[in-house]
Amino acid sequence: MAFHFTPAYELIDDLSTKKLSSVDILKSTIGRIWDVNEHVNAIVSLREEQDLLEDAAAADATPMDQRGALHGIPIAIKDLANAKGILTTEGSPIYANRVAVEDDLIVERIRKAGAIIIGKTNTPEFGLGSHTYNPVFGTTLNPYDLTRSAGGSSGGAAVSLATGMLSIADGSDMMGSLRNPAAWNNVYGMRPSWGLVPSDPDGDLFLHSLATSGPMARNPRDLALLLSVISGEHAKVPNSFSNPNLMPVNAADLKGKRIGWLGDWSGNLKFEAGLFEASEKAVSQFVALGATVDLVAPNFSAENLWESWTKLRSWKLASSHQHFLDDPVFSNQLKPAVIWEIENGRSLSTQDVNNASKHRSDWFLCAAEMFETYDLLVLPSTQTWPFEADKPHPTEIDGIKMDTYHRWMEVVIPAGLLGLPVVNVPAGFGENDLPFGLQLIGPKKSDHTLLAFAEAWHELFNWPGSRPPTI
């Protein structure tokens, strides 16, 4: 029996009625991985099959009243998070042999919910850059075109979902890492409201609020399922909070809803040929759901957004990674993007950081005013189609040179800078037969409403179900 593209919520229903066993699902998962993963390189550090089967048999023996929300469901953890007993390389040769001695908080919650952790999903070095390649495990390839990038940094997770190797996957997002790979692999990726999924209670807990973990899946109901497990207040994590109303997810009634289409930010965002036009056509489909769609010219400088983002991002990354650059043993093992971030962050003055925070605050007020008029803001999820996998990153868009390694991902920062909830919804395919997506952005703490909007979209289109890769 094969369950490669069965939603997680259906698998859980079948497990609860004993129509399926965890051993059945685990065997199907392993078989799919052996068939597919050699072509795409998405799952790494796979555990021994016998150990996994023993875990599945133990899951089947657990009484129903002791089972968690994910009981018996296989999952692989993004290789930035620690899962006890499994390598955590972060895609860096510095950590190539590091075996985790304990679970990170998100993994602890997933394990407590009864999921079977089978291994890891591939990620770029330290999660930097939206292209999943590293010197430890190599490059993850796009299943819709094996010569192309899968995106990142949750590229391994997105490809595992798209190809039916997993039914749910965790990821993390600082600069689009739950959205860009989801768009390029025809799946859903959600960056939740900042604080809904708490980070581990160590290091600085107040200053750096640009990144968060979140769920990925082939449908919004599974997004909500995993989010309900990994979210929730933690007493030792400031600004963390709970939302007990994430499930169930029913399709929202969009009749009378107003959607603000931010487009290309009044010409300030550049897009590869055909992508913006495809995105514009896709967003017009909300009219079929009863909503009105208005083109909105944001009353905020794109350059101030970029300045705020790059300074705050580099400031954060320098504080957490500069010790590698200072160590002669490790410094020559860092990829250029890591070195650039550290050096850029070190060059900042306190006034630079303060100015960046002021721009961020001004944008928060501007966005809040927009949500007084619009129920949802929408942007394209990417500015390029999946590019050639042997390149580190795009260097130009439509003839315009990119001035940094990540300028081509600028479209993801309006939501990320403010910690707003945002879901990538698969939006179709271009004339090149490559997938793309839209970012649905809601006001802070509107996660459940946003999932309901995504479910309405999914019921109308279901791109993952109607057009899986043919690998």
List 45, 153, 308, 314, catalytic entry: 153
pLDDT band at 73 (very low <50, low <70, confident <90, very high): very high
**CA 435, 440, 6, 74 torsion: positive or negative?**
positive
**Predicted confidence band at 329 (pLDDT cuts at 50, 70, 90)?**
confident
pLDDT at 1 over 90: no
Structure-derived torsion over alpha carbons of residues 5, 109, 233, 16, reported in degrees to the nearest 10? 60
Q: pLDDT digits over 98-117, tens only? A: 999 999 999 999 999 999 99
Q: 223-269, pLDDT tens digit by residue?
A: 999 999 999 999 999 999 999 999 999 999 999 999 999 999 999 99
The residues that bridge with 138 in the sheet, in sequence order, are 134
Instruction: Give Cβ neighbours of residue 216 (< 8 Å, ≥ 6 apart).
Output: 154, 157, 158, 161, 168, 169, 170, 171, 178, 182, 187, 188, 189, 190, 223, 226
Which whole number is the average pLDDT over 321-329? 91
Q: How far apart are CA 140 and CA 379, in angstroms?
A: 26
pLDDT digits (tens, 9 = 90+) for 7-31: 999 999 999 999 999 999 999 999 9
Domain ranges of the chain: 8-301+357-466
Distances (CA, A) of 390 to 146, 159, 190, 332, 434: 11, 17, 27, 21, 17
From CA 299, how far away is CA 302, in angstroms rounded?
Answer: 9
| Residues 423, 188 contacting (CB under 8 angstroms) | yes
Q: Encode pLDDT of 117-136 as tens digits.
A: 999 999 999 999 999 999 99
Closest Cα partner for 8 from 35, 29, 27, 34? Answer: 29
446 as an active site residue: the answer is no
Answer yes or no: 153 catalytic. Answer: yes
pLDDT at 283: 98
Q: What is the pLDDT of residues 260-308, one digit of tens each?
A: 999 999 999 999 999 999 999 999 999 999 999 999 999 999 999 999 9
What torsion, rounded to 10 degrees, do the Cα atoms 360, 361, 364, 365 define? -140
What pLDDT shows up at residue 252?
98
The neighbour count for residue 23, using CB atoms within 10 Å, is: 17
Active-site option among 78, 311, 335, 445: 78
Distance CA 167, CA 118 (A): 13
Q: The tokens of 134 are what? A: 């590293």
Check the CA dihedral 169-116-38-31 and report its sign.
negative
pLDDT in tens, 414-426: 999 999 999 999 9
Cis? peptide before 394, omega within 30° of 0: no
Residue 83: per-residue pLDDT: 98
CATH number listed for the domain at residues 8-301+357-466:
3.90.1300.10
Question: Among 160, 167, 177, 231, which one carries the catalytic annotation?
Answer: 177
| pTM of the entire predicted model | 0.98
258-287 core/surface letters (b: 16 or more CB in 10 A; e: else): ebbbbbbbeeebbbbeebbebbbebbebbe
Look at 51-55, 318-322, 442-446 and tell me which has the smallest mean pLDDT.
318-322
Element (H, E) at 116: strand 116-121
Cα separation, 182 vs 380, whole angstroms: 12
User: Kind of pairing, strands 292-295 and 258-261?
Assistant: parallel
**DSSP assignment of 399-448:** TEEPSSTTGGGGGGHHHHHHT--EEEEEEEE-TTS-EEEEEEE--TT-HH
Which pLDDT score, from 0 to 100, does residue 2 have? 77
Q: Which helix (H) or strand (E) holds 133?
A: strand 133-134
Residue identified by tokens 């973990």 is 213
